[in-house]
Amino acid sequence: MTVRVRIAPSPTGNLHIGTARTAVFNWLYARHYNGKFILRIEDTDKARSRPEYTENIKSGLTWLGLTWDEGPFFQTQRLDKYQQAIKTLLDGGLAYFCYCTPEELDQMREEQKAKGLAPRYDNRHRNLTAEAKANFEAEGRKPVIRFKIDDDREIVWQDSVRGTVVWQGSDLGGDMVIARAGDSSEVGQPLYNLAVVVDDMDMDITHVIRGEDHIANTAKQILLYEAFGAKVPTFAHTPLILNQEGKKLSKRDGVTSIDDFRKMGFLPQALANYMTLLGWTPPDSTEEIFTLAEAAEKFDLDRVNKAGAKFDWAKLDWINSQYLHKMSATELIELLVPYWEQAGYEVDLENNRDWWESLTTMIIPNLTRLADVVKETRLLVAESVEYTPEAVEFMQQEGVKEVIEQVIAAISEAPLLEEADGKTIIKNVTKSLKVKKGLVMRSLRAGLTGEMHGPDLIQSWLLLHQKGWDKQRLEKALSLLNQG
């Protein structure tokens, strides 16, 4: 039997980290068993679904490397199948029309709560007489369609993550709505649980891997499978991703869409790697950096955790930095350019590719997120320089002025061609002024970059020199000192 799994997001928002993680697990499972990974867009909620969200979901999955083998299928294009299924249930006496208004249902639940009872539908319209129906129709009420759920029924399934799960029919909230009230006399739009089951049957889904917030839905859906006489797929409920407070990660937690992570400068491989670790551990649990393909070789549901996993930015950052540090300047530079440009710096790769690559090579170990590149290089990519109070204070120390003067003199005589030239100048200045090398180095750093910390000084200097900016910066520093 070929494994067939799916990711079934609803296009009511951008691709969410929780959905993406579910997609990762499904993708890994499909790849591990050489199965198919299917994308299905659940857009039956017309009021909230938007085409741009569908596009965002598709591009997000693609960016992460979670390519799908079939689809995307759209539920709104399969409405006839749901109507047919609903009709089958209606004809079989397994579903019926319910004429309750939303207000009536609200009131009913309020009363139940007031009595300390669990809110649920009391199945009041399950056995309506033809006359009662006619009366409701005459009132102009539009019915929903409810699927009968036997209170005495016990639903049991073997969950690949959680083991045997038992659910009592009476805990499912009464007969469930499978179709909205229609605008006219025809049957209304299908609801989630119905559409999912019809699709999963139709698409021969063998394993349903989804978040544990769907557990109650699974019980309901199993009943539907049985009503249709279909084979029930294997279910696996994964732990949720939690925020800092231990609650389900939601849009309210700020950055939760994959798009946001991308913009912040996380690499897709790193994000996918981290999501894989959220609730799953490889059998050889010591190595934590791996590609999706490598994870797929080892992935299985039996090592998926049951407890929710808190999202940890520090760990994501570390994983991202690991990927970044392993990249070459050549491949990295393409990813970096947008960040420079967005910050207002002009990147002329056509003419100065070598310069930009040297710069990139130098700051790679300082990068955690791609966006960091602006902060790490802003002192080198702009002609102007600003001196921090710390740098000014340092330069006012005795001897700094002389160092800078001598360095200016040195570079005026001969250009800096390579690192060795810079080292020679530093050595000579150190000797002639009889000061410590550290003073020379730090004077240079302050004068050239305006800061006391940063990437390798001599390489930075070389880069500035190639732009012709080193001398003017040192002169600016000098004039600053002369002003007092």
Active site residue ranges: 251
Total residues found in the chain within this entry: 484
Q: Nearer to RNA by C-beta: 229 or 438? A: 438
Q: Smallest distance, Å, CB 35 to RNA?
A: 23
CA distance 442 to 406: 14
Please tell me the number of Cα atoms within 13 Å of 35 on its side-chain side.
21
CB 256 within 8 A of CB 225: no
> How many residues of this chain bind RNA (CB under 7 A)?
85
Rule CB under 7 A: say whether 246 interacts with RNA. Answer: yes
Helix (H, G, I), strand (E, B) or coil at 17: helix
Characterize 322-349 residue by residue with b for buried, 16 or more Cβ atoms within 10 angstroms of its Cβ, and e for exposed.
bbbeebebeebbeebbebbeeeebebee
Q: Smallest distance, Å, CB 348 to RNA?
A: 26
Stretch that binds RNA, among 29-37, 213-221, 291-299, 427-435 (CB under 7 A): 213-221
Among 231, 252, 434, 453, interactor with RNA by CB under 7 A? 453
Q: What are the strands, taking DSSP E only, across 284-438? A: 309-310
Among 153, 262, 263, 303, interactor with RNA by CB under 7 A? 303
* Burial category of 352 from C-beta neighbours within 10 Å (exposed 0-12, middle 13-18, buried 19 and up): middle
Q: Nearer to RNA by C-beta: 239 or 268? A: 239
Among 268, 279, 447, 450, interactor with RNA by CB under 7 A? 279
Tell me which residues in 368-407 interact with RNA (CB under 7 A). none
**Strands 36-41 and 70-74: what pairing?**
parallel
Among 177, 209, 301, 462, interactor with RNA by CB under 7 A? 177
Binding mask 3-32 for RNA (x = CB under 7 A): -----xxx-x--------------------
Q: Smallest distance, Å, CB 457 to RNA?
A: 3
**Contacts with 1 (C-beta within 8 Å, 6 or more apart), sequence order:** 206
Q: Nearer to RNA by C-beta: 244 or 396? A: 244
Helix (H, G, I), strand (E, B) or coil at 209: strand
Stretch that binds RNA, among 60-68, 122-130, 163-171, 466-474 (CB under 7 A): 163-171
Rule CB under 7 A: say whether 429 interacts with RNA. Answer: no
CA distance 203 to 41: 13
Q: Which amino acid is at 211?
A: G
Rule CB under 7 A: say whether 140 interacts with RNA. Answer: no
Binding mask 95-124 for RNA (x = CB under 7 A): -----xxx--x---x---x--xxxxxx---
Sheet bearing 36-41, strands edge to edge: 4-7, 36-41, 70-74
Q: Nearer to RNA by C-beta: 44 or 256? A: 44
Residue 244: other Cβ atoms inside 10 A:
11
Q: Which amino acid is at 388?
A: T
Tell me which residues in 341-370 interact with RNA (CB under 7 A). 365-366
Token digits for 398?
Answer: 């005795």
Of the candidates 161, 169, 176, 226, the residue with the CA atom closest to the CA atom of residue 197: 226
Among 57, 309, 336, 463, interactor with RNA by CB under 7 A? 309
Among 132, 134, 156, 216, interactor with RNA by CB under 7 A? 216
Rule CB under 7 A: say whether 248 interacts with RNA. Answer: yes
Residue 194: other Cβ atoms inside 10 A:
25
Scanning 65-191, the segments in alpha helix (DSSP H) are 79-91, 102-114, 130-139
Among 55, 111, 202, 213, interactor with RNA by CB under 7 A? 213
Among 18, 35, 60, 239, interactor with RNA by CB under 7 A? 239
Q: Nearer to RNA by C-beta: 1 or 453? A: 453
Tell me which residues in 46-65 interact with RNA (CB under 7 A). 48
Say if residue 102 is preceded by a cis peptide, omega within 30 of 0. no
Rule CB under 7 A: say whether 288 interacts with RNA. Answer: yes
Q: Smallest distance, Å, CB 316 to RNA?
A: 8
Q: Smallest distance, Å, CB 86 to RNA?
A: 13
Q: Nearer to RNA by C-beta: 242 or 329? A: 242
Among 2, 77, 305, 330, interactor with RNA by CB under 7 A? 305
Q: Could you give phi then psi for residue 143, rounded to 5 degrees?
A: -85, 150
